[in-house]
Amino acid sequence: MKKIFHFDAPRDEYRCDAAVRWCFDHRFELGFRKFLKCMGVKTPDPIKISGGAKQIRKSSGLHGTRRVILMVHSDCGAYGGLMGRFGGDTAAEAAHHQRELHRAAAYLKTEIPGLEVQGYFVDFEEIWDAAVGTIEIGRVVG
């Protein structure tokens, strides 16, 4: 092999602050990163692949993750897009994503007991808390 690039990475044991499941749509990358920084997340395990929930279990086992941040965004092609699936109705789109985040949080809490789960919906100007932290297995509290 021929070395083509050099960098120095720390060899210490790695611990992450949170496993973060988000979309690979680059339009939202800067907003996601700034939001995580505001939340105090300095070392995320970003999961930007299909099967993200399975990868959360790996992050938890390998890196001691006890916190998961789920993020979905407006006009996501995987959900059919704002115009296509929701006919441009931003309220319907936001409500749908909130339900999806609640379902995902309930699943993760069932599969990985003791996991702290947070969920957020991102539009083109703001980030909205989907209140998934109020979910207990099988019901919403509060």
The answer to whether 32 and 24 have CB atoms below 8 angstroms apart is no
pLDDT in tens, 95-115: 999 999 999 999 888 888 889
Q: What is the mean pLDDT of residues 134-141?
A: 54
Give the C-alpha distances (Å, rounded to integers) separating 117 from 15, 20, 38, 84, 91: 17, 10, 17, 29, 23
Torsion of CA 88, 90, 92, 95, to 10 degrees: 150
Q: At 137, which amino acid appears? A: I
Flag whether pLDDT at 36 surpasses 90: yes
Closest CA to 108 of 129, 127, 136: 136
Q: For residue 142, what pLDDT is reported?
A: 38
Domain boundaries, the chain: 18-140
Q: Given pLDDT bands bounded at 50, 70 and 90, which one contains residue 53?
A: low
CA distance 14 to 109: 24
Using a pLDDT cut of 90, give the percent of the chain over it. 43
Q: Given pLDDT bands bounded at 50, 70 and 90, which one contains residue 37?
A: very high
Beta bridge partners of 129: 120
Residues near 98 by beta carbon (within 8 Å), at least 6 away in sequence: 119, 121, 130, 131
CATH numeric code, 18-140: 3.40.1050.10
Q: Given pLDDT bands bounded at 50, 70 and 90, which one contains residue 40?
A: very high
Q: For residue 85, what pLDDT is reported?
A: 94
Q: What is the pTM of this model?
A: 0.79
